[in-house]
Amino acid sequence: MLTGRNLIRASDLNEQEVGLVLKNADSFMEVLKRKVKKVPTLRGKTIANIFFEPSTRTRNSFELAAKRLSADLVNFSASSSALKKGESIMDTIETIISLKLNLLVVRHGHSGVMDFISGKVGIPLINAGDGKNQHPTQALLDTYTIKQKFGSLQGLKVALVGDFLNSRVARSNVEMFSRMGMEVIVVAPSMLLPEDYSVLGTDILSDIDQVIDQVDVLYMLRMQFERQNRRFYPSIREYNRFLGLDRKRLNNMKKDSVVMHPGPVNRGIEISEEVMDSRDSKDRILISNQVTHGVAVRMSLLYLILSQQEEP
């Protein structure tokens, strides 16, 4: 069990613990297929969604996961909070904790803020994304989606393509995919990589065509325009030339290979409109699967952390 544990970065879980989360997600996928999609597992527990950044998929996924487990939920939005009156982040967190919560789900725009918060609170914390740093539950749901598709993870070849520099998803996925036995390749130009990219421990390529016919999973990273303080690529046309997925490149992929993306997709940049809207590519693009699996995986994580937790 993961009772009382924090999940701040992908490396917080070892291979066996990731396997435990995925195994329990199978059970919760069955729950989500029932007519009544709810179990009393976490009745009496209270979870707070504290999002200092906008979110659609992650926030709604955690909210639905908590409700499906019968937990009570407190939703916090920075835009309508006392932060607008000058209250500090920590004062806000402490105010929310005083409501006698069992777990915090936090998203924040500053990298590393989760370590600060975790040192100040006495209840479990799940990182729902911090700056350019980590997004561990996205890595879990992506790993689960790949396992559902291929059955086994060992030896699969995955290419992460695009804006690695500004992507917290990419950092978490490299760690988790590698730990679970997949071969990871990063495809990005030097201006979209961290200064010391040797620490990634993966092959680095600059052109998607170098791997398009070799990989089992083509994971297209979103261009993080909101986190870019300068222009990292000369033009969309230039980006498409080396990194974008169009119909021709989709046709050049391995027969049983798939396309993934953390969402939301910048249409015409990471993936062309034609590919996104084509009926015959729907089975190969697993973006909707990722969203669906996200609820089951987060249900599994909440269950494993909270089901045996003593009351605060």
Q: Which one is catalytic: 5, 41, 57, 254?
A: 57
Active site residue 241: no
CB under 8 Å to 10, separation ≥6 — which residues? 134, 136, 139, 171, 172, 173, 175, 176, 179
Active site residue 58: yes
Active site residue 110: no
In the block, which residue shows the tokens 């009772």?
Answer: 3
For 220, phi then psi, to 5°, come to -85, 120
CB count in 10 Å sphere of residue 211: 18
Q: Which one is catalytic: 33, 34, 85, 230?
A: 85
Q: Which one is catalytic: 9, 45, 46, 58?
A: 58
Residue from 229, 233, 230 nearest 192 by CA:
233
CB under 8 Å to 290, separation ≥6 — which residues? 141, 142, 145, 260, 261, 262, 263
Q: Which one is catalytic: 45, 68, 135, 171?
A: 135
Active site residue 46: no
CB under 8 Å to 237, separation ≥6 — which residues? none
Q: Which one is catalytic: 68, 107, 249, 293?
A: 107
Active site residue 57: yes
- What does the alpha-carbon distance between residue 55 and residue 77 come to, in Å, rounded to a whole number? 10
Q: Which residues are catalytic?
A: 57-58, 85, 107, 135
